[in-house]
Structure 1
Amino acid sequence: MKTELHTADSRGHADHGWLNSYHSFSFANYYNPQRMNFGALRVLNDDTVNGGMGFGAHPHANMEIVSIPLEGDLEHQDSTGRKAIIKNGDIQVMSAGTGITHSEKNANNDREVKFLQIWIIPNRQQVEPRYDQITLDPKDRHNQLQQILSPQKDDEGVWIHQNAWFHLTNMDQDHKLTYEIKQKGNGVYAFVINGKATVAGEHLGMRDALAITEVDTFTLTALSHQTEMLLMEVPMTV
């Protein structure tokens, strides 16, 4: 097993006034040749948007884009004609494929919206653009792994054009879980949303991450009450 610790304070940071963003990988004006991607995981942005503000219409192509709201309400609109509000407990996915334009803004004027924006390099190019959104039951992640994304259309969670699996968990202190790799050769990027945990023998605090490769299984143990984590399993070659 190989691991690499990415502490929260080692991330790139951009404060645009209306947007406060932390970049786990090189993005926009943040460039770090050692942090270009983790296999097919290209972008993990931890974004906070002020009330009433947001991203204007902008294009994407040949990328799988996943949004996970943490607090507040995020308003989405895109060139497929879809307009929706996503909030904590929802998962949104777009297959940009041949090209899609979308905008995202804070749906409220009186409070911030916080969300994770994730880009996955797809295993199929030039697909028809697609949008999907689901609401999950948070009880299904209490002291267990709740699958929120996979490659299968009929599986739990949303699906994308890549052999990737995402799971969320919210653990009580001292609770332990074992994660099993779904596809041989894949790696896992474990990200602590809240709390602190031991993952594959490494101690992680809030917003720390651990890149894990060359492993079949590993364990995670909560070191605080309501330790919330996101596990992103992706192919290491793209």
Structure 2
Amino acid sequence: MAINVRLAKDVYQVSAHVDDGSFNGKWHYSFDNYYDPNRMGFGPLKAFNDNFLSPGAAYTGQFRRDFEMVSYCATGEYQFVDDDDGNYNTLKKGHAQVVTMGKGLHYREINVRKDMPARVIQMWFPPSSMGLTPGMAMKEVGREARTNRFYPIVSNHHPGSLKIHQDVSVFAAYLKKETPLLYQFKARNAYFYMIEGGPVLLNGREIPPFAAARIEGEPLIRLEAMADAEILMVDMPGKAVRREERR
């Protein structure tokens, strides 16, 4: 059993000029041009990126295939545009989206607001099958729905959640100060992220803002916010993690 905390200062920082602005990110695992043999994902979680687009900026000309991408808007208004068919979703704070890249998808990411940055946390997973038909779906989640509970924004096991072609669930929670919250695992692991606020205590370990925790083999976790806090947690298979680490 283990909880390994990773502070924000230890996460890879990326920045680039994009259309009408700039892009900055905190990338937890190897992704795109960032490669670290010691950071090659965690089980089915192959990338975990905390991305920022400056006001009015657009990240265009992107193409991916055979990935499931989960996006969670933490600040501002973020728009995802499918350039192949013209469909788009606009996410506000607390809203989530699942995109199936499938056999290939050209897309853009846009900060709709001209007066504030857009912050989007993105999680990338390989799909259960290759060559799927591309598609996307979004879910609007207000603060009340996720207050003092693990709200399943993505899950194949909770009615009303966004579905995904992988055995993972993504939970969002807004924790009020000094309100304990419990989560029980059944031979599963998790990746925990402090979006803002806090810090929080995770089984007695202090997790400051922008820090993450890799949770392995814990049957139960207990959270308590020392100040109001926003968090995300990815629940994933335990066995997949052990196979990956032996390679």
CA distance in 1, matches of 2:165, 2:32: 24
**Alpha-carbon shift at residue 66 of structure 1 (Å):** 1.0
CA distance in 2, matches of 1:112, 1:46: 13
Contact 2:189–2:216 at 8 Å: present in 1 too? Answer: yes
Q: Secondary structure at the match of 2:38?
A: coil
Q: Does 1:192 align with 2:197?
A: no
**Alpha-carbon shift at residue 14 of structure 1 (Å):** 1.2
For residue 234 of structure 2, the aligned residue among 225, 232, 235 is: 232
Q: Does 1:53 align with 2:57?
A: yes
CA distance in 1, matches of 2:160, 2:192: 20
**Alpha-carbon shift at residue 206 of structure 1 (Å):** 0.1
**Alpha-carbon shift at residue 85 of structure 1 (Å):** 1.6
Aligned to 2:172: 168
TM-score for the superposition, normalised by structure 2? 0.89
Q: Secondary structure at the match of 1:16?
A: strand
Aligned to 2:75: 71
Q: Does 1:143 align with 2:148?
A: yes
**Alpha-carbon shift at residue 232 of structure 1 (Å):** 0.6
Aligned to 2:108: 103
Aligned to 1:112: 117
**Alpha-carbon shift at residue 9 of structure 1 (Å):** 0.8
**Alpha-carbon shift at residue 28 of structure 1 (Å):** 3.0
Give CA deviations for 1:127-155 in whole Å, capped at 9, x if unaligned: 21121011113201111111111124x72
Q: Does 1:41 align with 2:45?
A: yes
Aligned to 1:62: 66
Q: What stretches of structure 1 of length at least 5 have no aligned partner?
A: none
Give CA deviations for 1:153-190 in whole Å, capped at 9, x if unaligned: x7232110111111111112221111122xx4421001
**Alpha-carbon shift at residue 82 of structure 1 (Å):** 0.8
Moved more, 204-213 or 52-61: 52-61
Aligned to 2:136: 131
TM-score for the superposition, normalised by structure 1? 0.92
CA distance in 1, matches of 2:9, 2:201: 18
Contact 2:153–2:161 at 8 Å: present in 1 too? Answer: yes
Contact 1:80–1:100 at 8 Å: present in 2 too? Answer: no
Structure 1 runs, 4 residues or longer, greater than 6 Å off: none
CA distance in 2, matches of 1:127, 1:205: 39
Contact 2:139–2:153 at 8 Å: present in 1 too? Answer: no
* Residues paired across the two proteins, number: 234
CA distance in 1, matches of 2:204, 2:39: 22
**Alpha-carbon shift at residue 11 of structure 1 (Å):** 0.3
Q: What stretches of structure 2 of length at least 5 have no aligned partner?
A: none
Contact 1:13–1:30 at 8 Å: present in 2 too? Answer: no
Q: CA RMSD in A?
A: 1.7
Aligned to 1:213: 216
